[in-house]
Structure 1
Amino acid sequence: MAINPERQALPRYGSPISEQEYEALERAYPELRLELIGGRLYYNLAGGSRAHATICLNISAELRSQLKRGSGPCFVVGSDMQVLANGEKVYPDVTISCDVSDHKQDIKIIQSPHIVVEVHSPSTEYKDKNHKLQAYMACSTIEEIMFVNQFAPEVRVCSRSGGEWRSQDYQRGQLLHLASLDLQLSMDEIYYDIEFEEPLEES
């Protein structure tokens, strides 16, 4: 991928930034996942760890397998697809949309996310569970949010119910239910091929 030799250094992580500045940085840094949340810039500079990639793949594969058995329009995309959540531009690790307009092959951004998944590490947990969580909860199309711990078998599912949000935590050996689409994921499936006895490096 060609790199723009005239591009300037990235602003500090979490810096205030305008929409125009964000769009210019997107053009200058196509290799990065730049997020605009609450008027501030967030980004990933380095590639993720094997554990992070494995967990994302496990979740995507299982959700896609279950959705293929149904007859609805819902589909799964990964972290390279930008998502618009209540006006914020973000990159969840896994996203499900059930809007047929999001299924077009030439779209650049998912406009109507239904379920979003964040696989976090200690350095990203605060951003994910605070800044991004607020954006996700304010997005009218999102029904469920999954937070998956990369360093321990712990998952939190936040679900919209009757206009309110409720959360449930899951531990090793449990089965979690994404009620809005009647999907099930076991903790064993989510963490398949992950050995917590081995020290995991930050992604």
Structure 2
Amino acid sequence: MPNTAEQVHISHQDYLAGELESPVKHEYLAGQVFAMAGASEAHATIAGNLFALLRPHVRGTPCRVYMADMKVRVDAADAFYYPDVFVTCSAADAAETYVKRDPTLIVEVLSNSTAAFDHGKKFAHYRQLPSLREYVLVDPERLSIDVFRRNDRDQWVLFPFGTGQTLELASIGFSAEFEAIYEDVDLA
């Protein structure tokens, strides 16, 4: 017997209104809403380290850095996502309260449950953002950071970083010692 359960499609307006009230964050994709699971200590520490390093770097510029609770709207994919960390330098984004549309840099800290999605479909969606210059994937279980950088021909080029290197984020002119990203993270 076929599954006759209907999937409920929710409007953008209902989703956004619900997020203001909900104790649980949800991502939105083409009318479907997906609850987000909590993060591990390593995940939260890495995201916090990145935010702490990026915040003073953008201070005094038009850029702003956000962490975990700010949504990014991807119109072309009909999606709202909560990146772990992102930077936007857009005046239009500065005027928005709950949703940003023009990120320059997006960072996702991987987890076992979302790694394939972050590498695949979510990255495909993010690539549709004309403003996006870099997409960063940080592995909290091993010392590995992949930076995908959009070049002048609109191609995405991988720049892997590891122990002993300096992490460079060209989109915002930022660099930091690789180990600073993993500070206080127990990889045992």
TM-score bracket relative to the smaller structure: 0.7 to 0.9
- SS of equivalent residue, structure 1 residue 193: coil
The answer to whether 1:196 aligns with 2:187 is yes
Runs of 4+ in structure 1 displaced over 4 angstroms? none
Give 1:134's aligned amino acid: A
The answer to whether 1:187 aligns with 2:178 is yes
**What residue number does 2:40 align with?**
49
Distance change in 2, residues 1:134/1:16 (3 Å): farther
**What residue number does 2:82 align with?**
91
Q: Tell whether the 8 Å contact from 2:67 to 2:84 is kept in structure 1 after alignment.
A: yes
TM-score by length of 2: 0.85
Distance 1:118 1:22 in 2: 26
TM-score by length of 1: 0.79
**What residue number does 2:126 align with?**
136
Give 2:72's aligned amino acid: V
Give 1:23's aligned amino acid: D
Q: Tell whether the 8 Å contact from 1:85 to 1:113 is kept in structure 2 after alignment.
A: no
The answer to whether 1:175 aligns with 2:166 is yes
Give 2:58's aligned amino acid: L
Distance 1:81 1:196 in 2: 28
> Pairwise mapping of residues 67-78 of structure 1 onto structure 2 (< 5 A)?
67-68=58-59, 71-78=60-67
**What residue number does 2:3 align with?**
none
Q: Deviations over 1:78-116 (max 9, x none)?
A: 110011124421000001000122224x61101211111
Q: CA deviation at 1:24?
A: 4.9
> Pairwise mapping of residues 114-153 of structure 1 onto structure 2 (< 5 A)?
114-153=104-143
Unaligned 5+ segments in structure 1 are 1-14, 198-203
Give 2:24's aligned amino acid: L
Q: CA deviation at 1:38?
A: 5.3
> Percent identity between the aligned chains?
28
The answer to whether 1:160 aligns with 2:150 is yes
Distance 1:137 1:50 in 2: 29
**What residue number does 2:99 align with?**
109
**What residue number does 2:23 align with?**
31
RMSD over aligned Cα, in angstroms? 2.3
- SS of equivalent residue, structure 1 residue 138: coil
Q: Deviations over 1:2-39 (max 9, x none)?
A: xxxxxxxxxxxxx9653428935961771222112355
Distance 1:130 1:17 in 2: 25
For these two proteins, the number of residue pairs brought into alignment is 179
